[in-house]
Amino acid sequence: MIKLVATDIDGTLLDEGTDRLNPELFDLVRKLKEKGIIFAAASGRQYASIRRLFDPVAHDMIFIAENGAYVVCRDVDMLEVKMDRNKVAELVQEIRRMKGCEVAVAAKDAMYIERADTGLYDLLVNGYHNQVKVVEDVLKEDIPIIKVSIYCKDGVDGISQGVKSRWEGTFRTMLAGRIWIDFADYSADKGKAIQSIQKSLLIDRSETMAFGDNGNDLGMLANAEESYAIGNAREEVKEAAKHIADTSRNDGVVKVLRSLVETDGN
């Protein structure tokens, strides 16, 4: 019997960069809770952005933010994983030298960027509804850093392999959609967050269902017996998942959860 459902947001529940969930999802979260099934939303987004999306059911679920570096339940921190500051400084300096790319640094309460006159600021504030602070130098901010991101408005495919080979020995390096590469401590990812929740709530992998579309969802899918790649997922995600759901545009997650509720979670 399923006791935990975890789903990615952008590209899975939503088309990337949008922020309007199907209202039926809120009813399904409540029904899952009534049946003793915990719902968790997992994202590379910051906590404030995810909580805003799920405001009607914010106290009925768990939030896995910043790709698993920050986990919150009922406004109580369950997990916070910080990055090494010296290594972050090296990474940030390298990102600054990348043509057409920008750096974003995340603490648990806000995202820090160095320019407000680009598409990044507009996307973070108006697309994802993040809390954003524009500063002269992100490295001079006295904050616990939990995630660093590369944003490339024209896409990251051309740099992803080089970046991964350069940094994967230092940080967990994850493609997070067409325009993002995320970096976090190796002890922070969606899969580790799911493991932490499972351990805290005495839930087994066999009692877990998960949905994803991108490389940063693979750890989460690996920790769920009933793993679903959304129909528009990357091929490596489809290969890793046990099932293929409909696309995000066609409410693939909602369709599966509707069926789960109707079958009493079995």
pLDDT, tens only, 167-200: 999 999 988 778 999 999 999 989 999 999 999 9
What's the confidence (pLDDT) of residue 31? 97
What's the confidence (pLDDT) of residue 63? 98
Do 180 and 193 lie in a common domain? no
Q: Which of 137, 169, 184 is the last residue of a domain?
A: 184
CATH of the domain at 13: 3.40.50.1000
- Give the residue ranges of the chain where pLDDT is below 70: 16-18, 264-266
Do 203 and 242 lie in a common domain? yes
Q: Which of 128, 154, 184 is the last residue of a domain?
A: 184
Do 75 and 195 lie in a common domain? yes
Do 8 and 67 lie in a common domain? yes
Beta-strand runs (E) in the chain:
4-8, 38-42, 61-65, 70-73, 76-80, 101-106, 111-113, 132-134, 147-152, 172-175, 180-184, 208-212, 226-229, 243-244
What's the confidence (pLDDT) of residue 174? 86
Do 176 and 203 lie in a common domain? no
Query: Tokens at residue 173, please?
Result: 């390096």
Query: Which residues constitute the domain of residue 153?
Result: 85-184
Query: Tokens at residue 233, please?
Result: 């997922």
Quick one: 266 exposed, middle or buried, by C-beta within 10 A (0-12, 13-18, 19+)?
exposed
What are the two backbone dihedrals, phi and then psi, of residue 72, each rounded to the nearest 5 degrees? -135, 140
- Other beta carbons within 10 angstroms of residue 20's beta carbon come to 8
Query: Tokens at residue 51, please?
Result: 């909580």
**Dist. CA 88–CA 91, nearest whole Å:** 5
What's the confidence (pLDDT) of residue 17? 59
What's the number of domains the chain is made of? Answer: 2
Q: Which of 158, 184, 210 is the last residue of a domain?
A: 184
Tens of pLDDT, residue by residue over 94-121, are 999 999 999 999 999 899 999 998 889 9
What's the confidence (pLDDT) of residue 190? 94
Segments in 110-189 forming alpha helices (H): 119-122, 157-167
Q: Quick check: pTM over 0.85?
A: no
What's the confidence (pLDDT) of residue 179? 93
What's the confidence (pLDDT) of residue 177? 79
